[in-house]
Amino acid sequence: MSAARVLILGGTGEARALATELVDRPAWWVVSSLAGRVREPRLPPGQVRVGGFGGVAGLAGYLREQRINAVVDATHPFAAVITCSAAEAAEAVGVPLLLLRRPGWTAPEGASWHWVPTLAAAAEALTELGERVFLTTGRGGLATFAHLDEHWFLVRTVEPPVPPTPARMRVLRDRGPFSVAGERALLTGHRIDVLVTKDSGGQMTAAKLTAAHELGVAVLIQARPAIPEVATEPDVAAAVRWLEQVLGRGSLHR
């Protein structure tokens, strides 16, 4: 029996963990795909391809050419374009697709978070919530806050920000995992009034929410974009079970 060919759409810890889980099993052949946004990405084990596919048609062509048997979309919850492309391409080619999507965050008991649908709405809401802002929404959305001259921003990004950016800001280049103690030190050290984040979910970057709650820092959180109606699982173990079931390769556990 030839190996089942699986494409993992990646860029997340879950995508790397899934590749790690599958890569040494002879019954499976796995390729992970990265968008190529980060200069020194954390690479998953096994085969990796980098760069966009060229929209739905490009991805559908790739699935055909590479004779992919199943796709796991393990991209970030806010990577909405590739998630829609994957759903359309998989349907067009007739390849089973799983969306591996970690659960979103929920406010701790007693905390009331300010939910907003877009970063533009977050920028608008900031006027009410405070002047000193910890912005953790990624460098892509920084331009949305660039006009807010009255505010001071601590901006944490993996890659250096590109203009337009807020006039008053300090950039901290870092990526998770972060600890509660470290986040507490950042919030107090910079006298932060409000934390702005996306509902990314997961443990890697959740510590800032605990620290904000402890310190009474307001939380402004962008809700996730809608997802297509496809099979969805919350974690790597469930994704492996889905693959076993769909491709009939038996238990992967040693």
Residues of this chain that interact with ligand NAP (CB under 6 A) are 9-12, 33-35, 37, 52-55, 58-59, 75-76, 78-82, 85, 138
For the chain, how many residues are written?
A: 254
Q: How far is the CB of 86 from ligand NAP (least distance, A)?
A: 9
Amino acid at 178: F
Helices (H), 76-206: 80-93, 119-129, 180-189
Q: Are 33 and 10 in contact (CB under 8 A)?
A: yes
Q: How far is the CB of 136 from ligand NAP (least distance, A)?
A: 10
Task: Select 69 or 85, whichever has its Cβ closest to ligand NAP.
Answer: 85
Assign 42 to helix, strand or coil.
coil
Q: Are 10 and 44 in contact (CB under 8 A)?
A: yes
Burial 8-44 (b: 16+ CB within 10 A, else e): bbbbbbbbbbbbebbeeeeebbbbbbbbeeeeebeeb
Residues 6+ apart with CB under 8 A from 40: none
Provide φ and ψ at 97, rounded to 5°. Answer: -130, 135
Task: Select 51 or 216, whichever has its Cβ closest to ligand NAP.
Answer: 51
Task: Select 184 or 205, whichever has its Cβ closest to ligand NAP.
Answer: 205
Q: How far is the CB of 104 from ligand NAP (least distance, A)?
A: 13
Task: Select 69 or 157, whichever has its Cβ closest to ligand NAP.
Answer: 157
Burial level of 253, CB count in 10 A (0-12/13-18/19+)?
A: exposed
Q: How far is the CB of 252 from ligand NAP (least distance, A)?
A: 23
Task: Select 149 or 229, whichever has its Cβ closest to ligand NAP.
Answer: 229
Q: How far is the CB of 213 from ligand NAP (least distance, A)?
A: 22
Task: Select 75 or 144, whichever has its Cβ closest to ligand NAP.
Answer: 75
Q: How far is the CB of 250 from ligand NAP (least distance, A)?
A: 28
Q: Which residue is nearest to ligand NAP (CB)?
A: 52
Q: How far is the CB of 241 from ligand NAP (least distance, A)?
A: 22
CA 236, 237, 239, 240 dihedral sign is positive
Task: Select 12 or 69, whichever has its Cβ closest to ligand NAP.
Answer: 12
Report the C-alpha gap between 14 and 45 in whole angstroms.
13
